[in-house]
Structure 1
């Protein structure tokens, strides 16, 4: 007997993914993000680029989830941050990323935990109990990643390297669909 997950069609385009996310439960998000195989051309109408910082391009923002295309120029990276208690899946659409994860020790000092490299069609997952992380485009060229947050995050805590403290940061979008 096949499970409901095995019967579900793998989304072949963005509209199918949005429909599956909207109709499905949070428990299906991991399967969907791993199953999709999108080319950059599927997402290029949502892409915007900046030489100074990666861009956050909102595709869908509901109370249930948020789907964002992040566009990165070579070498761009996020600060070390959390996700305000929400789950985050990152699907590499083009390029390669280094993810570095940190944990706070008993007195709140950040300690390196581990580092990994993600390539096209690979997915990373993060939730606050796992620590804090930073993502960096290491591909040497422009690249894209698709981020799914369940539920949307409106703010996060960002680590300031100079003061070695965290500060709340309100999140916004560079573009909205």
Structure 2
């Protein structure tokens, strides 16, 4: 595995054989992944909760994005959510995203835009543990942990290409926020 591409390999803990095998699959790609490849990757995962334990880090302030793997073609993140935490309303502007619920229940709210730019919710649905959803780069949504206090949510996200641009939306204004190209904003939304 290319150690310069894998954030996990640069850290101080050893990766499990199962996680190493999964990351080797990602290392084999030399172009952006399509929907079928993202689906195949998620379907092939045989990880135990212990395999991802080093990346299972929460924040009491906002959901936490923990990078597992990064290459020019894709990025794998473990997102950890306490009860009541949610993402901002956003799209992935240029990146596909495969989201697998590993623990808990996520609520995905899907939005559309009016002709004058405001967003409105068109549906919400629950994603139970084991669920997989793949979002196109222009799909507008919000992920939330609406479960009772103490019920954590853990989700595994595979972005291709790595998520570096997105549009952030508000229910109150048609103004679209475009975070800068820096990597740090991804970990602050």
5+ residue gaps, structure 1: 1-11
- For residue 168 of structure 1, give the secondary structure of its aligned residue in structure 2: coil
- For residue 156 of structure 1, give the secondary structure of its aligned residue in structure 2: coil
Q: Tell me what 1:120 maps to.
A: 129
Matches within 5 A, 1:117-156: 117-129=126-138, 131-140=139-148, 141-156=151-166
Counterpart CA distance in 1 for 2:176 and 2:87 is 14
Matches within 5 A, 1:17-28: 17-24=22-29, 26=33, 27-28=36-37
Which of 149, 170, 180 is the aligned partner of 1:160?
A: 170
Higher strand share: 1
Counterpart CA distance in 2 for 1:37 and 1:164 is 42
Q: CA deviation at 1:161?
A: 3.5
Q: 8 Å contact 1:75–1:137 — kept in the other structure?
A: yes
- For residue 25 of structure 2, give the secondary structure of its aligned residue in structure 1: helix
Counterpart CA distance in 2 for 1:139 and 1:23 is 37
Counterpart CA distance in 2 for 1:148 and 1:56 is 12
Q: CA deviation at 1:45?
A: 0.3
- For residue 15 of structure 1, give the secondary structure of its aligned residue in structure 2: helix
5+ residue gaps, structure 2: 1-16
Counterpart CA distance in 1 for 2:161 and 2:137 is 13
Q: Tell me what 1:5 maps to.
A: none
Deviations 1:91-135 (A, max 9, x none): 111111000111113222213222221111111111134x30000
Output the TM-score relative to the length of structure 2. Answer: 0.77
Q: CA deviation at 1:37?
A: 4.4
Q: Tell me what 1:7 maps to.
A: none
- For residue 22 of structure 2, give the secondary structure of its aligned residue in structure 1: helix
What is the number of equivalent residue pairs in this alignment?
162
Aligned CA distance change for structure 1 residues 35 and 117 (closer, same or farther; 3 Å): farther
Q: CA deviation at 1:75?
A: 1.5
Output the TM-score relative to the length of structure 1. Answer: 0.82
Q: 8 Å contact 1:78–1:134 — kept in the other structure?
A: yes
Q: 8 Å contact 1:97–1:135 — kept in the other structure?
A: yes
- For residue 166 of structure 1, give the secondary structure of its aligned residue in structure 2: coil
* Alpha-carbon RMSD: 2.0
Match status 1:83 vs 2:92 = yes
